[in-house]
Chains A and B, each alone.
Chain A
Amino acid sequence: MTSAVSITDLHVTIAGSHVLQGVSIEVPVGGVTALLGRNGVGKTTTLRALLGLVPSTGAISVLGTDVRGWPTHRIVRLGVGYVPEDRDVFAGLTVAENLRLAERIDEPRYDDVYAIFPELRERTRQRAGTLSGGQQQMVSIARALLNGWPLLLVDEPSKGLAPRLVSELADTLERVATLATVLLVEQNLAVVRRLAQRIVVLDHGEVVHAGDAVELEDPELARRFLGVTGVR
């Protein structure tokens, strides 16, 4: 298996809108691949289609297995952790219950999770809905790490976080990336530059560029594909 994820000619239509128009992406095993693009170009939809959360056509292979038509829970059980865009912690459940729900192996890796997020150990009985945004993000990432899955899909983890927390988050994701292949959707280019080895740029539901993350040093590419200027 050379690709952790292989997507070929992926199409998604939502409420009559042709959101993904033939997306093809290869995510090699190991490291961080960043999925970039302006708002609304289909990055989150790509992750959701990968997990079977939205109907799609095209070929999708996850960790070497063709998952076309599979229900979401079966795809996840191949070894996929998911950190959604808005964290999606279960607000009415405690932190412990949120984590318990994510347990899919006999000996979940609580020690690893608490080593990365020691604060969560002290908040196990707190309702997730009463946590701060940063703490909710910890729960969301912890759920994805608990089973030691080989592939993580992480959607805009820095969204809505204070700058100090973004830096801590990048530290965490850097450690996570040593344990698993990460497909990262992220708008914060500083985070992407720090973490990613490869980039895939989407625009209007199509892949318009794929290459090495070092290309982000080129201001012209950033301006042309991402609509940002003066990035460093």
Chain B
Amino acid sequence: MNVFLALTFSGVALGAIYFLAASGLSLIYGLMDILNFAHGLFMTLGAYVAWDVATHLPASWGAPLLFVIALVASVLGGALAAGLTEVVIIRPLYGRPIGQILVTIGLDLAVVGLLLGGFGSNSLSVPVPLWLIEASHVGGLSLPNSDFVALIAGVVVLVSLELFLRRTRYGITIRAGVENRDMVSALGINVGRAFTLVFVIGGAMAGLAGLLYAVVFSGDLISPTQGDSLLIFAFIVVVIGGLGSIRGSAVAALVVGLVQDYANFYLGSHPGMAEIGNLSVVLLLALVLEWRPRGLFGSTL
């Protein structure tokens, strides 16, 4: 029973990171109809900016403070990368979906290539405080502290995003824009600003996801291609949850994290089943698409 509970906790933490990675992607598609293949890049850049900041600040500041600064840096790095991408690269291509797909794929490949050239293919280690590598004992369970951080980050972002979307004028504009962009413009609202804001929010969450994924699941190591790996699961979460739905992304991320974790543990040790966790997620996607082609939560926010 304890193993199952520990697995569940780990699956929920994984789901929290998938949610961070997917929610921005979902918002961007819901509002702007853009399949943003550069989203993985925002995750990678967030992690690299965090690493760069944390390793260049004096170690005397202490690991806990440096880690908090790294978290903030990952958010800002992802947000800046996403904002620039929208303004410089996406904006001239509105209404040209094929062009958007090609240019975001191209951007991702180019920047990953630059990172490989600049930092090499070896993974880099993000400095983290010791307690983050340790575990806490809760009710007889030994739970990694890093999982708690991922879980708290996921919940904070979900609640903040919900409050933003429901209580603020920009949030209402974004929800309305997901339903009918033309009508938002016809009310005198500059939808372009909402587009940029959505990219910035999505990029911020992606940057945070990039750093937390490294801390929770990659032994504090970051690499130029980590965002692309995470992007595949982010897309699966978005499609299962329903394009444009934040709540859908949250539920789908949780389900995907749990399914992947359970499958890896219970089936992954059998011969030839090493990738069963990933396969089970793809099967889950196929089942949901067969049952509800628009995803669990359709296209409402």
Contacts and interface: CB of A to CB of B under 8 A. Distances in A.
Interface of A: 51, 53, 71-73, 76-77, 82, 84, 88, 90-93, 97-98, 100-102, 104, 143
21 contacts: A53-B182, A71-B185, A71-B190, A71-B192, A72-B186, A73-B191, A76-B187, A84-B186, A88-B183, A88-B186, A90-B179, A90-B183, A92-B300, A93-B176, A97-B172, A97-B176, A101-B169, A101-B184, A102-B188, A104-B188, A143-B187
Interface of B is mostly: helix
A73 B189 contact: yes
Given A53-B182, A101-B184, A92 B175 contact: yes
Interface of B: 169, 172-173, 175-176, 179-180, 182-192, 300-301
Given A90-B179, A93-B175, A76 B186 contact: yes
Contacts of A76: 185-188
Contacts, number: 61
A100 B175 CA distance: 13
A101 B183 CA distance: 10
Nearest to A92: B300
A77 B186 CA distance: 9
Given A73-B191, A100-B172, A101-B172, A92 B179 contact: yes
Contact of B186 (A51, A91, A100): A51
Nearest to B189: A73
Of the candidates B175, B187, B189, the one having the most CB atoms from chain A within 10 angstroms of its own CB is: B187
A101 B176 contact: yes
B87 to A, nearest CB: 16
B187 A102 contact: yes
Of the candidates A73, A76, A77, the one having the most CB atoms from chain B within 10 angstroms of its own CB is: A73
